[in-house]
Amino acid sequence: MKQDQFSRRILIWRNKYISEHQLVLILSFIVGLLSGLAAVILKTTVHTTHSFLSTRVESGFNYLYLIFPIIGITLTVLYVKYFVKDNIGHGVTRILYALSKNNGKLKKHNNYSSMVANTLTVGFGGSVGVEAPIVLTGASIGSNLGTYFKLNFKSVALLLACGAAGAIGGIFKAPIAGLIFTLEVIMLDLTLTAIVPLLIASVTGAMVAYFLMGEGVTFSVTSIQPFDMSNVPFYIMLGILCGLLSFYFTKTTIKLESAAKKIKSKSLKIALGGTILALMIFFFPSLYGEGTSSLQSLLNGSTEGIPKNYIFSLALKSNFNLLFFLGVLALLKVIAMAITTGSGGIGGIFGPTLFVGGVAGFWWSQFINSFQIVNLPHGNFALAGMAGVMAGVMHAPLTAIFLIAEITGGYGLFIPLIITATISYITVQIFSKHSIYTHRLAERGELLTHHKDEVILTLMKLDSVIEKDFLIVYPYNTLGDLIQLISTSKRNIFPVVSEQNELIGIVLLDNIREIMFNREKYNDTLVFDVMITPPEIVDVADTMDAVMKKFNSSGAWNLPVIKEGKYFGFVSKSKIFNTYRDLLVQVSEY
């Protein structure tokens, strides 16, 4: 009770002294601060757990690699099942769903639940990243603050995006990438007014990370060489390779996770997935956790930092073996990631895309150099590969370009990053129109896009436009009965239903106008004789996009709606247009 009174006093004070725009600016700073702090906490807990356990794992074959991943996934599943009691996987997809179907609102437990689960998964060797969970955490902080202050949808969505930007800024120390991420991935329709809060949040998140973790970049690259124009064809070919690899990444992940969903027993899923993952890590220790040490080594043009075991020792004996090892490593990372999440682990794809891209870029330069025609710099191509795979998997070339530049300090490679990321994005677009984040939402028609009409149709809920004040008639009613209803109705359409309330047809006033005043037919003519079949029927489960297609194909102004096979009401174009206009105002406020 006291908390409710305190909340009301805050809201009254806010309404009296602070405008909504001013409040959004203030909250964007708070969201950035909390998101950046959350990013630092997650990164610290994951790395502390990982380092503590890694000291127990000696180089080479070590049977602890068979135990830790299974323990981590088991703890994660138990935590989610008994404490969270909600699905918290696929963080970015959940953000997009909240924007399209839940007015930008995320549950309060998302403020922390993904951080705990991700620490358990990655800290114990799960082959996923920490970025998506922290993005969900930041977005949840923004969403819940906006909801607390009773802001409208557009302001809540903006604060949600501020949380995502602050989280990216904090986890990578990359404020520009955080801003661009909201445009490309969160798909926020930016205006000049909206950019300011996003900049505040992303810069604040990055500054918190700098203050608490130092000024060093995420990956220290010492082997970057000046851009050479003669290498452009090889960057183009690397872009094509990254595009194909991105398609493999997306399709493999979706198929493996879908296959895992078919296993109903969680114990079996953990045992099977955890065992496969443990064996993969046992033979390829680079798959353990995020794999940052291996990636760091490749960025510096060396394979010395890759965890060594018998298989890796064999790979170093010949160039062919090394190429084969790196190629298999890149392909297996995708499988390891999908198995981790499919078995119940919580993590993101940022880290795996960087890993796969870095390995692919190094592999490509090593492959070309083996012909001894040119000498491509490994570090440059590893960076370009990181940008290429991220751009292809996330369908976000600008995010990939600026993120790689910011986290490595490699602004001198802007042109190679642009070339590789753009070519990769174009290549993957040939095979797949949607990213790994948006694939499932797009299939269900629940995806927000930058197309204003599509955004509003996605946000519009069919229930809000269904009208139920139509008077029903039965097929055995006479024309006289129908005329009596017409005299009391404000509508010119009458649904014809069975005794079980099943829709049989409709009667249009225009169709009976010629006989409605002929009293001789009042008793002889039945409703069944004058009704027609509706040109289209809408189901309450239809998306608004599907509803509009039915209106366009039928040319009708009103269409009947059914729910579970029963008559439910009507939906009209005029009602949709009025609702569309109201939503357009909300969406265009920022």
pLDDT (tens digit per residue) in 328-348 = 999 999 999 999 999 988 988
CATH (domain of 458): 3.10.580.10
Is the domain of 353 the same as that of 432?
yes
Residues 406, 182: Cα–Cα separation, whole Å: 16
Answer whether 510's CB lies under 8 Å from 519's CB.
no
- Residue 499: inside a domain, yes or no? yes
Average pLDDT, the chain: 84
- Residue 73: inside a domain, yes or no? yes
Would you place residue 61 in the very low, low, confident or very high pLDDT band (cuts 50, 70, 90)?
Answer: very low
- Residue 390: inside a domain, yes or no? yes
Residues 207, 203: Cα–Cα separation, whole Å: 6
pLDDT (tens digit per residue) in 360-374 = 999 999 999 998 888
Would you place residue 168 in the very low, low, confident or very high pLDDT band (cuts 50, 70, 90)?
Answer: very high
Query: Can you count the helices (H) and strands (E) in the chain?
Result: 25, 6
User: How many domains does one find in the chain?
Assistant: 3
| pLDDT for 590 | 46
Answer whether 38's CB lies under 8 Å from 137's CB.
yes
Answer whether 401's CB lies under 8 Å from 212's CB.
no
pLDDT (tens digit per residue) in 238-283 = 999 999 999 999 999 999 988 988 888 888 999 998 889 988 888 8
Amino acid, res. 557? W
pLDDT at 194 exceeding the cut of 50: yes
pLDDT (tens digit per residue) in 27-53 = 999 999 999 999 999 989 988 887 777
Average confidence (pLDDT) over 491-498: 90
**Where does residue 375 rank: exposed (0-12), middle (13-18), buried (19+ CB within 10 A)?**
exposed
Is the domain of 417 the same as that of 464?
no
| pLDDT for 155 | 85
Is the domain of 460 the same as that of 439?
no
Is the domain of 303 the same as that of 402?
yes
pLDDT at 352 exceeding the cut of 50: yes
Least confident of 180-189, 451-460, 531-540: 451-460
SS3 state of residue 49:
helix
Number of CB atoms found within 10 A of residue 448's CB: 23
- Residue 416: inside a domain, yes or no? yes
* Residue 434 or 404, more confident: 404
Question: In sequence order, what E strands does 96-245 have?
Answer: none
Q: How far is CA 563 from CA 126, 459, 531, in A?
A: 44, 21, 21
- Residue 378: inside a domain, yes or no? yes
Which domain range does residue 544 map to? Answer: 454-587
- Domain C-terminal end among 162, 179, 213: 213
- Domain C-terminal end among 158, 182, 213: 213
Is the domain of 294 the same as that of 416?
yes
- Residue 449: inside a domain, yes or no? no
Is the domain of 133 the same as that of 281?
no
- Domain C-terminal end among 444, 475, 494: 444
Is the domain of 255 the same as that of 304?
yes
Element (H, E) at 434: none
How many Å is the Cα radius of gyration of the chain? 29
pLDDT (tens digit per residue) in 390-433 = 999 998 899 999 998 887 766 778 899 999 999 999 999 998 88
Average confidence (pLDDT) over 179-187: 84
pLDDT (tens digit per residue) in 549-566 = 888 888 888 899 998 889
**Where does residue 404 rank: exposed (0-12), middle (13-18), buried (19+ CB within 10 A)?**
buried
| pLDDT for 206 | 92
Answer whether 254's CB lies under 8 Å from 408's CB.
no
pLDDT (tens digit per residue) in 111-129 = 999 999 999 999 888 888 8
- Residue 325: inside a domain, yes or no? yes
pLDDT at 523 exceeding the cut of 80: yes
Return all residues near 244 (Cβ < 8 A) that are at least 6 apart: 427, 428
Is the domain of 336 the same as that of 195?
no
Is the domain of 15 the same as that of 107?
yes
| pLDDT for 201 | 95
Is the domain of 51 the same as that of 154?
yes
Residues 335, 342: Cα–Cα separation, whole Å: 10
CATH (domain of 338): 1.10.3080.10
Residues 521, 104: Cα–Cα separation, whole Å: 57
Residues 310, 506: Cα–Cα separation, whole Å: 76
Is the domain of 440 the same as that of 458?
no
- Residue 224: inside a domain, yes or no? no
DSSP state of 188: -
Number of CB atoms found within 10 A of residue 139's CB: 35
Answer whether 97's CB lies under 8 Å from 326's CB.
no
Is the domain of 505 the same as that of 358?
no
Return all residues near 264 (Cβ < 8 A) that are at least 6 apart: none
Answer whether 420's CB lies under 8 Å from 357's CB.
no
